[in-house]
Amino acid sequence: MKARVWIKLVLAVAVISMSGCEKKGATVKKQEAKEIRQMSANTESFGKTPDGKQVDLYTLTNNNGIRARITNFGGILVSLEVPDRDGNLADITLGFGKLDGYLGEHPYFGAIVGRYANRIGKAAFKLDNVEYKLAANNGENHLHGGIKGFDKKVWRLEDIGVKGEGAMVKMSYISEDGEEGYPGNLACSVIYTLTEDDKLQISYEAETDKKTVVNLTNHSYFNLAGQGSGDILGHELTLNADKYTVVDEGLIPTGENRNVEDTPMDFTTPMTIGSRIGQVEGGYDHNYVLNSGSTLALAAKVYEPTSGRIMEIHTDQPGVQFYTGNFLDGSITGKAGKVYQKHYGFCLETQHFPDSPNKPDFPSVVLQPGQKYATVTVYKFYTN
Ligand code: BGC
């Protein structure tokens, strides 16, 4: 009996000191990484569009080795390499390694979506009693800016370098009056900044010369265990939202904001994405009404237990579309030859509510000449 207790004790001490070693190892790795890694921002060619436009790939690296690759085609976040709890990097976004993949049909991997992200019911809206007709590219509804939205445009490089809060790249795009049916020339810019304290910040700005509607977001699909490594059902999600916008079968809000309490929609405390997904028809594809309104605050936190990676999303937007890659079906082969199956990535698209142009009770998405649209979303990374 006594001998057994002793053996148990010795084993316990061994396990504790081994885990201490592992932790030390990870710290050393992190320190080594710090010594050799420096903030940088570089440009290289990513190829050409079929009509001969040059497309570039920008690489932002920070002092901890986090690396974000962005292209001016669609303002797409092509990859995002982030360390796990042992300091090992993995690319945590789905997408393509080459421009070709983004030129074809794809479900908005990493893209800047606009002029209006998400759906507009019956592909039309009115401003001052003038009706604007948009492309019905999602059944009878309009989705993600239309046939050729901001995700398929070549943006202009405005600035790149290590300045301000970190390694940054600024791109701009002018969406002409009438493009995809929207009124007004809209001058937009997007700045990606990778900071020393492991934040990837996306700032959006826009100005118009005619009353219009704007709703910009980034449509990255995340898998914190590494892109293509499996489904995201084991990730633990917390959403700072007591309500979500109830939708009809075309995913257009009915106007009712329903309480999440006691339903599978409730992520106000950490829950694995997969724990109740079977009770949500089709999987999660819903806009959550953030408790913070339009104040910059923590909107979502995601923890992946095998890697220890944690991503926090802070935004000043009133909503976040939580989408669990329900339409991924294995028909797309992405980076490193990985095949993307159902639920292999999740999106948390910070934005205004769907169909806001037709919902006077929702926070307004109208932009007037002389006003400035300016919003920010921050993705913060650490491990546990
Ligand atoms: C939408 C989904 C859509 C996906 C890809 C998401 O923002 O909510 O319904 O399938 O984008 O287009």
DSSP string, 303-330: E-TTT-EEEEEEESSSEEEEE--TT--S
**Exposure string (b/e) for 47-71, b if CB count within 10 Å is 16 or more?**
beeeeeeebbbbbbbbbbbbbbbbb
Structure tokens at 58: 């920008």
Q: Catalytic: which of 219, 235, 286, 343?
A: 219
Query: Where are the alpha helices (H) located in the chain, listed in sequence order?
Result: 2-36, 99-103
Give the contacts of 46 (CB within 8 A, at least 6 positions apart).
55, 56, 57, 71, 73, 98, 99
Closest ligand 1 atom, CA of 285? Answer: 8
Cα–Cα separations (whole angstroms), residue 97 to 93, 100, 103, 110, 192? 11, 9, 12, 12, 19
Q: What pLDDT was estimated at residue 25?
A: 42
CA 323 to ligand 1 centroid distance, Å: 7
- pLDDT band per the 50, 70, 90 thresholds, residue 36: low
- 342 has pLDDT over 90: yes
- Please count the other Cβ atoms lying within 10 Å of the Cβ belonging to residue 265: 22
Q: For residues 186 and 206, what is the distance between their CA atoms, to the nearest angstrom?
A: 6
Q: For residues 300 and 346, what is the distance between their CA atoms, to the nearest angstrom?
A: 12
Q: For residues 168 and 3, what is the distance between their CA atoms, to the nearest angstrom?
A: 62
Q: What pLDDT was estimated at residue 107?
A: 98
Count of alpha carbons within 13 Å of 233, Cβ hemisphere only? Answer: 12
Q: For residues 373 and 366, what is the distance between their CA atoms, to the nearest angstrom?
A: 9
Closest Cα to atom 7 of ligand 1: 118
Closest ligand 1 atom, CA of 219? Answer: 7
Give the percent of the chain with pLDDT over 70.
90
CA 44 to ligand 1 centroid distance, Å: 30
Q: Catalytic: which of 286, 343, 349, 352?
A: 349
Unique residue bearing structure tokens 């440009």 = 43
Which residues lie with the beta carbon below 6 Å from any ligand 1 atom?
107-108, 251, 285, 321, 323, 327, 349
- 34 has pLDDT over 50: no
pLDDT digits 0-9 by tens, 290-300:
999 999 999 99
Closest Cα to atom 5 of ligand 1: 107
Closest ligand 1 atom, CA of 113? Answer: 7
Q: What pLDDT was estimated at residue 72?
A: 98
CA 92 to ligand 1 centroid distance, Å: 19
- From 72, 129, 62, 132, select the one nearest 102 (Cα to Cα): 72
Assign 152 to helix, strand or coil: helix
Instruction: Report strand pairing: 319-323 vs 347-351.
Output: antiparallel
Closest Cα to atom 10 of ligand 1: 327
CA 170 to ligand 1 centroid distance, Å: 26
Q: For residues 12 and 341, what is the distance between their CA atoms, to the nearest angstrom?
A: 41
Does the annotation mark 219 as catalytic?
A: yes
Query: Do 202 and 192 meet the contact criterion of CB atoms below 8 Å apart?
Result: yes
Whole-number average pLDDT of the chain: 92
CA 302 to ligand 1 centroid distance, Å: 20
Closest Cα to atom 11 of ligand 1: 107
Closest ligand 1 atom, CA of 349? Answer: 7
Q: What pLDDT was estimated at residue 120?
A: 98
Query: Do 64 and 30 meet the contact criterion of CB atoms below 8 Å apart?
Result: yes
- pLDDT band per the 50, 70, 90 thresholds, residue 14: very low
**302 or 13: which carries more pLDDT confidence?**
302
pTM value is 0.90
Q: What pLDDT was estimated at residue 332?
A: 98
**What mean pLDDT comes out for the span 105-128?**
98
pLDDT digits 0-9 by tens, 70-97:
999 999 999 999 999 999 999 999 999 9
Q: Residue 93's beta-bridge partner residues?
A: 222
Structure tokens at 56: 């570039």
Assign 143 to helix, strand or coil: strand
Structure tokens at 122: 């019956």
Q: What pLDDT was estimated at residue 164?
A: 85
- 255 has pLDDT over 80: yes
